[in-house]
């Protein structure tokens, strides 16, 4: 499904935006569309080869419009140093998109502390680290700024079988509301987007690993509009949030899910019907998907 852009090509001409988790999936797709509307984009991730490939794709037709750094958002010192480098080499950022994430479906009782930490440290701690490192510089220099975070509708409903992600996303939702009040006087806005299912490689596999997960987050027959969303639609909402179109908008999390959250109480609720054997098959499927994704990155 193609979506016509309602924005002029220079809608973000004066913007310099950092996207965490920008080397793959939604971050990569949105980054290309921000560049197409005039933004300078910086993307972060952990795999340099993937980032370099993403920058080449994102900046095609717009030389010099995209840059990358290999950064672990869970490490505040690394985050702060990378932000300093952007400020020194390119100038102050005007916007941040907290997009880095980790997630998988599993019965909560089977999770190890390490698995919990892998998800929450990326989503919650990583978003806070990056927001703090950039926000402190905006405040010190008297600069306005805009922070946007990609969340999910689980921040309102919770979601079974993805408890670490639901908890971490809810924490970022709380950060968005809290800092909107605390930092509003500095001209710093914080908002979040909660998109519904938008197909991307790997993440789609991890959240729908077997046929038994027919009630999972990727099933379009449970969406009132009868289809998944698109990266173009998410990008259009992102462009609006980063633009100067509505500087009075802050502290809000905006759902864009085709009505999915209103049609059911919990995204993965029906997975309670899965047996132990079903979950064993799901783990095998997820492991195979992860291995295939890693192999593809090394080719």
| pLDDT at site 287 | 76
pLDDT of 203-255, one tens digit each? 555 555 555 444 455 678 778 999 999 999 999 999 999 999 999 999 999 99
| pLDDT at site 276 | 84
Which residues pair with residue 70 across a beta bridge? 45
pLDDT of 14-26, one tens digit each? 999 999 999 999 9
Mean pLDDT across the stretch 268-296? 75
**Closest to 152 in 3D by CA, of 253, 259, 23, 21:** 253
CA-based R_g, the chain, Å: 19
Average pLDDT score over the chain: 89
Both tokens assigned to 74: 């869970």
Mean pLDDT across the stretch 259-266? 77
At which residue do the structure tokens 């005007």 appear? 94
Element (H, E) at 19: strand 16-20
Residue 246 vs residues 9, 243, 253: alpha-carbon distances, Å: 18, 7, 15
Residue 42 has pLDDT above 70, yes or no: yes
**Closest to 163 in 3D by CA, of 175, 173, 154, 172:** 154
Count of alpha carbons within 13 angstroms of residue 182, beta-carbon side:
10
Contact criterion met (CB below 8 Å) for 31 and 81:
no
Element (H, E) at 17: strand 16-20
- Provide φ and ψ at 251, rounded to 5°: 80, 10
Record the pTM. Answer: 0.86
CA distance 5 to 37: 10
Q: Is 25 left (phi over 0), alpha (psi -120 to 50) or beta?
A: left
CA distance 144 to 174: 21
At which residue do the structure tokens 């916007």 appear? 95
**Closest to 234 in 3D by CA, of 27, 57, 65:** 27
| pLDDT at site 295 | 64
pLDDT of 49-105, one tens digit each? 999 999 999 999 999 999 999 999 999 999 999 999 999 999 999 999 999 998 888
**Closest to 28 in 3D by CA, of 2, 73, 60, 74:** 60
| pLDDT at site 179 | 98
| pLDDT at site 213 | 45
Mean pLDDT across the stretch 178-204? 89
**Closest to 94 in 3D by CA, of 235, 193, 236, 189:** 189
Mean pLDDT across the stretch 39-46? 97
| pLDDT at site 209 | 53
Mean pLDDT across the stretch 282-299? 69
Mean pLDDT across the stretch 188-208? 78
What is the pLDDT confidence band of residue 116, given thresholds at 50, 70 and 90? Answer: very high
Residue 268 has pLDDT above 50, yes or no: yes
| pLDDT at site 250 | 98
| pLDDT at site 214 | 47
CA distance 24 to 51: 8
What is the pLDDT confidence band of residue 290, given thresholds at 50, 70 and 90? Answer: confident
Residue 105 vs residues 49, 185, 208: alpha-carbon distances, Å: 28, 40, 8
Q: Which of 7-21, 155-169, 238-252, 281-295 has the lowest mean pLDDT?
A: 281-295
């Amino acid at each position: 499904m193609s979506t016509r852009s309602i924005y002029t090509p220079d809608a973000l001409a004066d913007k310099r935006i950092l996207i965490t988790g920008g080397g793959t999936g939604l971050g990569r797709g949105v980054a290309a569309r921000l560049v197409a509307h005039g933004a300078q984009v910086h993307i972060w991730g952990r795999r340099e080869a993937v980032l370099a490939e993403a920058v080449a794709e994102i900046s095609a037709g717009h030389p010099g419009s995209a840059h990358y750094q290999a950064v672990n958002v869970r490490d505040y010192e690394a985050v702060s140093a990378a932000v300093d480098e952007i400020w020194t080499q390119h100038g102050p950022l005007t916007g941040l998109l907290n997009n880095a994430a980790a997630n998988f479906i599993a019965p909560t009782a089977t999770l190890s502390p390490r698995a919990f930490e892998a998800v929450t440290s990326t989503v919650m701690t990583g978003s806070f680290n990056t927001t703090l490192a950039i926000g402190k510089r905006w405040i010190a220099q008297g600069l306005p700024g805009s922070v946007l975070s990609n969340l999910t509708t689980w921040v309102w409903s919770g979601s079974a079988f993805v408890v670490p992600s639901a908890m971490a996303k809810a924490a970022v939702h709380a950060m968005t509301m809290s800092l909107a009040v605390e930092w509003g006087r500095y001209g710093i806005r914080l908002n979040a987007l909660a998109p519904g299912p938008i197909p991307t490689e790997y993440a789609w596999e991890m959240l729908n690993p077997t046929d038994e997960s027919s009630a999972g987050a990727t099933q379009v027959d449970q969406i009132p509009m009868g289809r998944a969303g698109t990266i173009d639609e998410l990008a259009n909402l992102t462009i609006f949030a980063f633009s100067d179109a509505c500087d009075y908008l802050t502290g809000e999390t905006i759902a864009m899910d085709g009505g999915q959250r209103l049609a059911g109480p919990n995204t993965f609720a029906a997975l309670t019907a899965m047996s132990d054997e079903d979950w064993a098959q799901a783990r095998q499927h997820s492991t195979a998907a992860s291995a295939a994704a890693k192999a593809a990155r090394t080719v």
